[in-house]
Amino acid sequence: MRARRSPVTVPPSPPRAVTVTVAVATMAVIGMCVAPQAVAVPGPEVEYVYNVLVRRHFDFPNGDALGYGWATCDKVRHGVAYADVLSDVKREVFPDDEQSANYVVSYAVGILCPADISRLRDSAAGYRPPG
């Protein structure tokens, strides 16, 4: 005669909500440990000066790129025509071509005074480069 085996008992599994909660908490902790540290974005003045002096190598009157950028914003804010702003930049900043002048004006307004972008666009509507 054979010996009787006792039935195998399986321990009860935890409720599904507990399992999901533990899994989510574990993933959150791992995510915090692995996530890269946030890096602060530079202020608009730093970004503007770096891009026009270091990356693009523009030469501004008196070497004052930031002052020139703010002056460009003032011209746009006071309604100076886009063609006049561009001709001033081509006369005062090197390189003095159309593309460079357009970059200086649009970048100054876009970075230093973004609230004036619509004024710049309105002023530039219908503009045709000379030549």
**116 contacts: CB under 8 Å, gap ≥ 6:** 73, 76, 77, 109
Q: Identify the pLDDT of residue 1.
A: 60
Alpha-carbon gap, residue 63 to 84, rounded angstroms: 22
Q: pLDDT tens for residues 72-108?
A: 999 999 999 999 999 999 999 999 999 999 999 999 9
Residue 6's pLDDT band (cuts 50, 70, 90) = low
* Greatest extent of the chain over all pairs of C-alpha atoms, in Å: 111
Q: pLDDT tens for residues 23-68?
A: 777 777 776 666 667 777 789 999 999 999 999 999 999 999 999 9
Tokens encoding 26: 């574990």
Alpha-helical runs (H) found in the chain: 16-34, 44-49, 65-77, 82-92, 98-112, 117-124
Q: Identify the pLDDT of residue 11.
A: 67
Assess contact for 90 and 104: CB atoms under 8 A. Answer: no
**121 contacts: CB under 8 Å, gap ≥ 6:** none
Q: pLDDT tens for residues 107-131?
A: 999 999 999 999 999 999 999 988 7
